[in-house]
Amino acid sequence: MWKHKNIVPILIVFGIVSTLLALFAVSSWWWVFLVLFVWLGSTTWGAFDIRQGYFTDVFYKKKHENRRRVSLTFDDGPTPVTLDILALLKQHQAKATFFCIGKQINKHPDIFRKIIEEGHTIGNHTMNHSKGFGFLNAQQIEQEIDSCDASINDIVPHKPRFFRPPFGVTNPSVAKAVKETKHHVIGWSNRSLDTIIDDENKIFDRVSTRLVPGDIILLHDTSNKTLRVATRLLEYMKQQDFQSVTIDELLNLPAYEH
């Protein structure tokens, strides 16, 4: 897919051509609607499909991974369920990356601390995970990121380099904010939809049938439903000789600034 920075000049050229055509032929106005349709469709798709990296660079999988390694990632914690997730990961000698919300860190500091103590990686998932995240301006997004970093730094001497935007939304404001904060935007290649789908079998099948080396898998450590799915998934991964490693190990990127 075209990136935002590449499609803008193309659309400008389309706009100039369509305007000139419209001046000489009324029937050519369909060019204007075509340009608007292409722009709107590309921008909407780019905003909501984080894999496209439309507005900013995004890491969403390890391409050409020659080992059977994937990364399990858990969003929206820490919560009491996180403790059970940690026990499960320890049982399978698996490592994961947790994209934590600042207000949840403040609510469960001991659970947050345990995530790091057990060798998992922490990522920034904003301070409040606002439902209106996609409508925040760059300054507001930067504040959300910085506040979450501050909550992390209150407990451990780490500033995370990894940032996952709520709902996977990217737009020019997100791009501007992460350029200032110098975070790597982390997406996913295998989305469980565990917060949307009720049927645990469907969630498990959705992830397991698509699983390939280099995948970054999106889960949420917020419900017992996901805990049960993760239990089945880790058993399946063991059978298929898949190993779960942290994002920094999979992508060979530094997880923190010290």
**Overall fold of domain 58-257:** TIM Barrel (3.20.20)
> Which residue in 80, 192, 100 sits closest to 149, CA to CA?
100
- Least trusted range by pLDDT, from 7-21, 35-49, 170-184: 35-49
The pLDDT-based confidence of 37 (bands split at 50, 70, 90) is very low
Q: CB within 8 A of 147, min separation 6: which ones? A: 102, 126, 127
Distance CA 220, CA 251 (A): 21
Asked whether residue 38 carries a pLDDT value surpassing 50, the answer given is no
Q: In the chain, what are the domain boundaries?
A: 4-48, 58-257
Q: Check residue 158 and give its pLDDT.
A: 80
- Of 4, 75, 183, 248, the active-site residue reads 75
Residues 45-88 pLDDT 10s: 444 567 676 789 999 999 999 999 999 999 999 999 999 999 99
Q: Check residue 49 and give its pLDDT.
A: 62
Residues 201-238 pLDDT 10s: 999 999 999 999 999 999 999 999 999 999 999 999 99
Whether 125 sits among the annotated catalytic residues: the reply is: no
Whether 183 sits among the annotated catalytic residues: the reply is: no
Mean pLDDT for the stretch of residues 78-103: 98
- Of 4, 108, 183, 220, the active-site residue reads 220
Asked whether residue 168 carries a pLDDT value surpassing 80, the answer given is yes
Distance CA 126, CA 174 (A): 12
Mean pLDDT for the stretch of residues 39-46: 45
Question: Across the chain, what does the average pLDDT equal?
Answer: 88
Mean pLDDT for the stretch of residues 106-122: 97
The pLDDT-based confidence of 93 (bands split at 50, 70, 90) is very high
> Which residue in 151, 197, 149 sits closest to 177, CA to CA?
149
Asked whether residue 165 carries a pLDDT value surpassing 50, the answer given is yes
How far from each other are the two terminal CA atoms of the chain, in whole angstroms? 36
